[in-house]
Structure 1
Amino acid sequence: MLALLASVFVISLSGALMPGPMFATVLAKSYKSPWAGAQASMGHAVVEVPLILLIYFGAAAFFDQAAVRFILGVAGGGMVVWMGVGMFRARKSLSSGQKDTRYNAFTAGIMLSAGNPFFILWWATVGALLVLQAAEFGSGGLWALILTHWSTDLVWLSIVSGLVYKTHRLWAPAFQTAVFTLCSLLLIGFGGWFIVSGLQAVI
């Protein structure tokens, strides 16, 4: 059991440390609150925990179908692009603190998790193997996996948001605008990548 949880921690940490749409959004939302990372991770759990339970009960094959991958990629990618475009348009007012995005960090965690087809497919493939191994220890093993994985995201994103919130006032205005520009372009780029992946699933 400990060996399994250790592998879950290492895999989860490697995924959390890789820059992605969630990281970019937490970075931007941390200007307003040091709790942005925790809120985003809770929103992430709203999607992730039911998904893990669905896979536990045998839904992994469903999420790996071409039609489902197409819908997830196009719809989810479109939503992520929309979030990125909105952030890009408001980048100057966001960096000055005059404006915030229409969605809070918790909502962003839900939207980015539900709209990320690679996140869902990861759980349907690699993640499903971890779920099966955890299931050998009963329901306790499954919930230990969930808590280990989620707490890794929670701690990392909380560290990011805390550091950004405490230090962003020391950054030059031009640098702050550049941060929001980069975050928005990352969202648009990832959204476009999701759309392309969805189209490739049916080509």
Structure 2
Amino acid sequence: MDLWTLFTTAFLVGLSGAAAPGPLTGMAVREASRGGFWRGWSVALGHAMPEALLVAGLAYGLGSWLSQAPVVGTLSIIGGLVLLWMGRSTVLEARTARLPGAGDAAGRPAGNAVLAGVGTTLSNPYWFLWWATIGSGYVALSQAGGILAVAVFFAGHILADIGWLGLVAGLVASGRRFIGDGVYRGVLAFLGVFLLGFGVYFLWTGWRFLSGNA
């Protein structure tokens, strides 16, 4: 997988997770509704901190383990199955989803928005599930390209998070004039189909590693 493909797919996979309604989006909505765009966007910066540490740990502390063909194959297959599940759920959700509004913000205590992003991330069990399956598989696949490939993967992934949460913060801060529920559903539907396709790719890659054909 070349660097451009790695960046693009990491961005789209990251965007599919970021765009789905969840606690992090709720926190960004809450902070933006209270303090404007930059306060809401700061939640994304807080989210990026534990993600950067985790990717570094996977790339360095677990690099030799992740580079083994059986590990790469197993993680890719598990990640592929999770992607298929997430893709199906996203496609189904797209039929009735609505863009989060200020009234959807989670009822958490006010505080530093960056720390709120860190806390919301670490308190979300689905975040750990994502990195234990899809994320770790992606890092393992990136290992073949060295540190640059891992950095490109992380850049694509985190830019999706920052971009989406920035969009949500901007919409809440300025009003819902630029996007409606129909566009939001269309985005979710596209990302759901993309997840399904990439899940198949992960399964195929995992089979190649486990069968010795990689």
Cross-structure match for 1:45: 48
Closer, same or farther in 2 for the Cα pair 1:37/1:144, shift >3 Å?
farther
Letter in 2 for 1:156: W
Cross-structure match for 2:30: 28
Task: Verify the 8 A CA contact 2:31 2:113 in the aligned structure 1.
Answer: yes
Identity %: 29
Q: Secondary structure at the match of 1:126?
A: helix
CA drift of 1:139 comes to 0.6
Distance 1:36 1:141 in 2: 31
Task: Verify the 8 A CA contact 2:40 2:166 in the aligned structure 1.
Answer: yes
CA drift of 1:36 comes to 2.8
CA drift of 1:51 comes to 0.9
Distance 1:137 1:37 in 2: 35
Distance 1:162 1:9 in 2: 20
Runs of 5+ consecutive residues of structure 1 not aligned to the other structure: 62-85, 89-100, 169-203
Letter in 1 for 2:36: S
Letter in 2 for 1:9: F
Alignment of 1:11-160 (within 5 A): 11-31=13-33, 32-56=35-59, 57-58=61-62, 87=107, 101-160=109-168
Would you say how many aligned residue pairs link Structure 1 and Structure 2? Answer: 133
CA drift of 1:4 comes to 2.1
Task: Verify the 8 A CA contact 2:28 2:40 in the aligned structure 1.
Answer: yes
Letter in 2 for 1:45: A
TM-score after normalising by structure 1: 0.60
Distance 1:139 1:47 in 2: 18
Alignment RMSD (CA, Å)? 2.4
Distance 1:55 1:121 in 2: 14
Runs of 5+ consecutive residues of structure 2 not aligned to the other structure: 72-105, 177-214
After superposition, what is the alpha-carbon deviation per residue over 1:69-118, rounded to whole angstroms, capped at 9, x for unaligned?
A: xxxxxxxxxxxxxxxxx927xxxxxxxxxxxx432221111001111122
Task: Verify the 8 A CA contact 1:16 1:156 in the aligned structure 2.
Answer: yes
CA drift of 1:157 comes to 0.7
